Chains A and B, each alone.
Chain A
Amino acid sequence: MAIPVHTDQKMIEIDQVEKSFGSHRVLKGISFHVRAGERLGLIGPSGCGKSTLLKLITHLLEPDRGTVTVNSPEVGLVFQGSALLNSLTVRENLALALRRRKLSKKDEESIIQEKLSFVGLSDFLNAYPTQLSGGQQKRTSFARAIVNDPKIILYDEPTTGLDPVMSTIIEDYMIKLGEESNAAAIIVTHQYSTWTRTAERVLLMHDGGAVWEGTPEEALKTDNPFMRQFAHGYKEGPMLEGLI
């Protein structure tokens, strides 16, 4: 009998991380962690440093101060703009991620088939990214991110710009994948339905730090002025103060 293993292992640990670009301080000492099998929704106003945080976790950037601990050699990242290689077909994009494992052609092909059918794109094996719609590109990017069965998956706005049906489909993939693989996930999103449906825990970022943390249900009821404003989209509140 298969029992889902819910270890308490912290897969991602962010501790007092600071990051600046020139004189612009983006992250000002943020701390949180994500455990195995957990899906954390990361929300916050545009430009607050969510994508920057994901780049720190994937070591595309290094923190100025603080530590980023990642307990998995394999990390999958679904990019905000898909970031598929335009000169390669869908198959070749996935094969590129598999390249360093030096698998036999047959094994490689079966993994690619399996991941593409997971996102419902088996018919687009030989299409180029420019021939795909935005939603199909997102799903290809999704398949590419999970091709090596990572134990950590980072989603940067996986449903932004998609129609509600496609959003729901992608949300379902994220939930299904979390249940099947027991991977830790961070879901960065602006879309209300996405974080309420997929996240087990939500972290609200503001001005380079975390200002609220809790479950999606709590998020809708809390008195925290930041979360209240963000969850309901009020114009009045502490967020964006002085900008409106």
Chain B
Amino acid sequence: MVFPATSCQFAISSRLGIFCPLAYGESTTSNPFCSKIVGMDSTGSPKRPNLLNHLLLPLNVIEDQFGRGVVLVGQVIIIWFKAIACMLTGRIDWREAFRQCYLIGNQSFIIVSLTALFVGFAMSLQISRELVAFGGDTAIGGVVSLALVREMGPITAGVMLAGRVGSAIAAELTTMMITEQIDALKVMRVDPIEFLVVPRYIAGLLMMPVLSIYAMTVGLVASIWISMIAANLPPATFLDSVKQTILDRDFGVHFTKAIINATLVIMFSCAVGLNTRGGAEDVGLATTRAIVWVMTSIFIFNYVVTSLTYAPR
């Protein structure tokens, strides 16, 4: 895409928070520090850019964001391949991997419990209400468990892991990058992928299915309780319905989603961390960036897996 130079200048400078007089096409001084005087009108507020610039501004922003996104996805793929290569050749620090397992479990256990509990409450309340109205009480268990096993279990655990573990990894690796700890590793000829990414990835792969199944179970227990209170449904009836509805395949899909979510959380947060340079304020920015990417991709991949496995034929 080619845009007029002035609009690009304006877009870039405005995003950097720098007032760039050249973008307005009316620079009257050669001193770049005089932008305050040049770019202001008599009331002291910045003059508006011309209409064309204004219209093209969102496009510039989109182009810039899109470019950075493509770069990040490329970095994620490279890191993922390198991590897989390390794992296939047996370069795994199991002690560190188990330490990371402990950290992940410890960090996300309570938060996953809480969110799964309330997801279960809300869902079974809605579903019982509607099904009771149609006289379909006995189907409550089936519908709730379908939603939990196929969608809500993996998503809840994935999003919580992203918020709790992904952000911590992105912040930790960015800090290591900024304080030159990663450079120190390279000078010592220790591979940062092997030393930092692989143990976290293994821990993610081991813990994510556990947390997903746990989230699903907590949600199910919450649902049984709520449907008992709200719809007078005996737990036995609820569980009967669950048994009749849930197939083995559902657990396979559940597991697949958990593995994909673990990969997304760990790889995006590591890629963001290992590719950020700058100062302390960049730690916060990198963390936000990692979370946004992980969550968005979790929802997208969740849909892709669902559409590949459950689409009506």
Residues of A within 8 A of B (CB): 55, 58-60, 75-77, 79-81, 83-86, 96-97, 99-100, 144
Alpha-carbon distance A55/B179, docked complex (angstroms): 14
Q: How far is the CB of A17 from chain B (nearest CB, A)?
A: 19
> Which of B37-45, B180-188, B265-273, B290-298 contacts its partner?
B180-188
In contact, A100 and B187 (Cβ under 8 angstroms): no
- Chain A: minimal CB distance from B194 (Å): 10
Give the interface size class of chain B.
Answer: 10 to 19
Q: Interface on chain B toward A: helix, strand, loop, or mixed SS? A: helix
Q: Most chain-A Cβ atoms within 10 A of its Cβ — which of B179, B180, B183?
A: B180
CB contacts (< 8 Å) of B176 on chain A: these are 85-86
- Shortest Cβ gap from A243 to chain B (Å): 14
Asked if A75 contacts B181 (CB within 8 A), the reply is: no
- Shortest Cβ gap from B144 to chain A (Å): 42
Chain A residues with CB under 8 Å of B183's CB are: 55, 60, 79, 83
Pair A100/B190 contact, Cβ less than 8 Å: yes
B189 beta carbon closer than 8 Å to chain A? yes
Name the distance in Å between B176's Cβ and chain A's nearest Cβ.
Answer: 8
Please, which residues of chain B bring their CB within 8 A of the CB of A59? 186
B187 touches A58 (CB 8 A): yes
**How far is B188's CA from A144's CA once the two chains are assembled, in angstroms?**
9
CA distance A55 to B188 in the complex (A): 13
Contact A85 B184 (CB under 8 A): yes
Chain A positions within 8 Å of B180 at CB level: 79-81, 83
Contacts A/B (CB < 8 Å), 27 sampled: A55-B183, A58-B186, A58-B187, A59-B186, A60-B183, A60-B186, A60-B187, A77-B184, A77-B187, A79-B180, A79-B184, A80-B180, A81-B180, A83-B179, A83-B181, A83-B183, A83-B184, A85-B176, A85-B181, A85-B184, A85-B185, A86-B176, A86-B181, A97-B188, A99-B188, A100-B189, A144-B184
Chain B residues with CB under 8 A of A97: 188, 190
B186 near A81: Cβ-Cβ < 8 Å: no
The reply to whether B190 and A84 contact each other, CB–CB distance below 8 Å, is no
**Nearest opposing residue in chain A for B180, CB measure:** A83
Give the Cβ gap from B74 to chain A, nearest Cβ, in Å.
19
Q: Which residues of B contact A79 (CB under 8 A)?
A: 180, 183-184
Minimum CB–CB distance from B131 to chain A (whole Å) comes to 51
Report the separation of the CA atoms of residues A77 and B184 in the bound assembly, to the nearest whole angstrom: 8
CA distance A83 to B186 in the complex (A): 12
Q: CB-CB < 8 A to A77: which residues of B?
A: 184, 187
State whether B187 touches A81 (Cβ < 8 A). Answer: no
Kindly identify, within residues 83 to 120 of chain B, every residue whose CB is under 8 Å from any CB belonging to chain A: none
Chain A neighbourhood of B188, CB < 8 A: 96-97, 99, 144
CA distance A100 to B185 in the complex (A): 12
Task: Specify which chain B residues have a CB less than 8 angstroms from the CB of A58 in the assembled complex.
Answer: 186-187
- Inter-chain CA distance A60–B183, complex, in Å, is 7
> Which residue from chain A places its CB closest to the CB of B182 in the assembled complex?
A83
Give the nearest-CB partner of B195 in chain A: A96
What does the 1/0 interface line of B151-181 toward A look like (CB < 8 Å)?
0000000000000000000000000100111
Chain B residues with CB below 8 A from A84, complex form = 181, 184
Question: Can you list the 5 inter-chain pairs with the closest CB atoms, starting with the nearest?
Answer: A83-B180, A83-B184, A97-B188, A77-B187, A58-B187
CA distance in complex: A86, B183 (Å): 14
Q: How far is the CB of B173 from chain A (nearest CB, A)?
A: 11
| B175 to A, closest residue via Cβ | A86
A83 neighbours in B (Cβ, 8 Å): 179-181, 183-184
Nearest-neighbour CB distance to chain B for A101, whole angstroms, equals: 10
Docked complex Cα distance between A59 and B183 (Å): 10
A96 touches B190 (CB 8 A): yes
- B179 neighbours in A (Cβ, 8 Å): 81, 83, 86
A31 CA / B119 CA spacing, docked (Å): 66
